Structure 1
Amino acid sequence: MSAGITLTTAPTEEDIEVIRTGLRAHNLPHLGTIDRQPVACFYHDPQGKRLGGVSGMVWGKWLQIDFLWVDPSLQHQGIGRQLLTQIEHHAKACGCHSVLLDTFSFQARPFYEKQGYRCVMTLEDFPQNADRHYLVKSLAEGQP
């Protein structure tokens, strides 16, 4: 194969791993010593069925929330708030000072704002016909 650029619309996991490995090697001197800890918290019914949860990553002094879900039959009962509070307490105990998350315009921005999050960036028409909001919250005492 000669040198050049190729494009594929069907990359394999191996293809993606080549890129990921190269980027991680580049980032290692800057981010390599920062601890990363996956974390998740669940709501379950008396039979143990999971009906809600929140997951993310404690990364250095930040909690990054990736997903928050509550079964539709249980929404508006405070479960999302309780899950968020629990994972925030864990992050604070791990030394985190802030939380980062994102949500689409058709999802839960008002919910997060009621929990003390503030929008710091919005991507309009992303990916299409919706906006993507990035929100942060300080975990420091007395901070908004």
Structure 2
Amino acid sequence: MFLHQRVQFHYAEEVRFTDERRRGRIWDGSICDVECTVRRDPISVNAFRAVLQARLASNNVHVDIFKRAQPTFDGEDFELVQITVYRNGLPDDHFAFDDGGELVRRAYRPVFKAAMTYEPSTVSSRWGQ
């Protein structure tokens, strides 16, 4: 997948990150309507991204929305939708070596990530970052 299905590999990384971290303190669960439709068409995703850009005061926002399965302890899988949001943080700098081997400071904007999962057949939704 890493070499030939880059998008699916990226989604698999996001699933692993989300599943491993969702029981931590930085996650919040909520109850919502059953069988909602999470729109994934370009118009809806662009509208969602525009709202996030305004709300988060970030010029750069990327949104991934995809369906996946979640295994349960009794061996069954249930379907869910995962939304991962990436946004720019405030400017920062870090040390790096330039081409001549000199230690310099380089400016950058870190990217922060938040994920949400929605389980249409239950009433569960979770946010985390």
TM-score, normalised relative to structure 1: 0.28
TM-score, normalised relative to structure 2: 0.30
- The structure where strand makes up a greater share of residues is 2
- The structure where helix makes up a greater share of residues is 1
- More RCO (CA 8 Å, sep 6+): 2
